[in-house]
């Protein structure tokens, strides 16, 4: 059975529906919030999945595992190990490929639509999906597209929402993995952040039932197609 390394940065930002779609794989977890360290090599793994978290790529002085993860992703790209990065994971992917990661002008939290670029519409992970997709967002940072990367999706607030780097490394700024339960947990845990950003949690709660099924439909399709890249 193919073994996938899953990197988690905080307990509440787990795999969600990604784990459901990969039920046939052997998932091994690297929980850096427990160890404070990251493995340096993807050797022995058939794929690498890097999840989200509240820290910034530029905060390696506070979170030493950041540099370790960047090196891990670099090695995965170099050795053609498929990579799937979500939110912070996408920012780490961009950084590993030499792109700048930085704070955006405002936070993008809640339900938004993203639009596929021309390259995104023809990519194997998005092929046949609608040009506009409902997604759940929770981020303030963003990234430039790496020299060896391509932008696959954009939103009104942030033009770089999904990237492909090299042959088999994908990063998604938005969250397609969340369940309704996870959305509720994030709102409760991050109450102070929502208040500071002047974002109405009730609006997010109201819009979740309207959008979650559509998110899961295309989210599962993306993961299933990513799984086909795994040996």
Establish whether 87 is a catalytic residue.
yes
Tally of domains within the chain: 1
Establish whether 12 is a catalytic residue.
no
Mean pLDDT of the chain: 96
Report pLDDT digits (tens) over 21-63: 998 899 999 999 999 998 779 999 999 999 999 999 999 999 9
**HSE value, Cβ hemisphere, 13 Å, CA-based, for 73:** 31
* Whole-angstrom distance, CA of residue 114 vs CA of residue 26: 31
Query: Pick the catalytic residue: 69, 87, 160, 216?
Result: 87
Query: Pick the catalytic residue: 8, 69, 108, 177?
Result: 177
The verdict on pTM exceeding 0.95 is yes
pLDDT > 80? residue 1: no
Report pLDDT digits (tens) over 152-208: 999 999 999 999 999 999 999 999 999 999 999 999 999 999 999 999 999 999 999
Token digits for 69?
């993860």
CATH number of the domain enclosing 60 = 3.40.50.880
Establish whether 177 is a catalytic residue.
yes
The whole-number pLDDT of residue 185 equals 98
Residue-range definition of the domain harbouring residue 104: 3-227
């Amino acid at each position: 059975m193919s073994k996938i390394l899953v990197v988690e940065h905080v307990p509440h930002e787990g795999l969600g529906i990604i784990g459901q779609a990969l039920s046939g794989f052997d998932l091994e977890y690297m929980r850096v919030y427990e160890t404070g360290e990251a493995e340096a090599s993807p050797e022995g793994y058939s794929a690498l999945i890097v999840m989200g978290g509240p820290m910034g790529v530029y905060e390696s002085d506070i979170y030493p595992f950041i540099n370790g993860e960047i090196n891990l992703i670099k090695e995965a790209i170099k050795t053609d190990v498929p990579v799937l990065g979500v939110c912070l994971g996408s920012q780490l992917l961009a950084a590993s490929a030499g792109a700048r990661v930085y704070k955006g002008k405002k936070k993008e939290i809640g339900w938004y639509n993203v639009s596929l670029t021309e390259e995104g519409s023809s990519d194997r992970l998005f092929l046949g999906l609608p040009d506009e997709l409902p997604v759940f967002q929770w981020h303030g940072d963003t990234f430039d597209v790496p020299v060896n990367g391509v932008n696959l999706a954009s939103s009104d607030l942030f033009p770089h929402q999904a990237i492909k780097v090299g042959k088999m490394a994908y990063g998604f700024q938005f969250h397609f993995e969340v369940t309704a339960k996870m959305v509720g947990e994030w709102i409760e845990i991050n109450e102070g952040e929502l208040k500071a950003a002047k974002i109405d949690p009730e609006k997010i709660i109201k819009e979740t039932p309207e959008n979650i099924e559509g998110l899961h439909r295309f989210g599962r399709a993306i993961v299933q197609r990513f799984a086909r890249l795994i040996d």
